[in-house]
């Protein structure tokens, strides 16, 4: 049912406009933007980097959920660093 709510605009599972935490890693900016889902905080974030004078961004969502926004934000930073280390600039392809 939750999937259908998201699909048709119901539910409040949108990432907040203000990041819960911001970090830098290897020239990338990471914005942790966890959101509430079924009473828990889901891991979500945005990775961005200026490439050729243009800011490129990639949003990621993981299935990991936590009881607090702070825990989910910390995990989002860790996951983003892993994504950057594994994919580098291919992330924006």
Q: Are 22 and 32 in contact (CB under 8 A)?
A: yes
Q: Which of 77, 62, 69, 75 has its CA nearest to residue 16?
A: 69
pTM of the model: 0.80
- The H or E element containing residue 30 is strand 28-32
Over residues 81-93, the pLDDT tens digits come to: 999 999 998 998 8
Over residues 24-66, the pLDDT tens digits come to: 999 999 999 999 999 999 999 999 999 889 999 999 999 999 9
Domain 15-88: give its CATH code: 3.30.160.350
Delimit the domains of the chain by residue range. 15-88
Q: Are 3 and 24 in contact (CB under 8 A)?
A: no
């Amino acid at each position: 049912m939750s999937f259908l709510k998201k699909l048709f605009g119901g539910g409040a599972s949108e990432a907040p406009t203000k990041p819960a935490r911001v970090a830098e890693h290897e020239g990338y900016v990471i914005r942790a933007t966890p959101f509430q889902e079924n009473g828990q905080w889901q891991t979500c974030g945005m990775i961005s980097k200026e490439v050729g004078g243009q800011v490129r961004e990639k949003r990621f969502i993981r299935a990991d959920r936590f009881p607090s926004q702070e825990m989910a934000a910390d995990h989002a930073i860790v996951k983003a660093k892993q994504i950057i280390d594994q994919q580098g600039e291919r992330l924006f392809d």
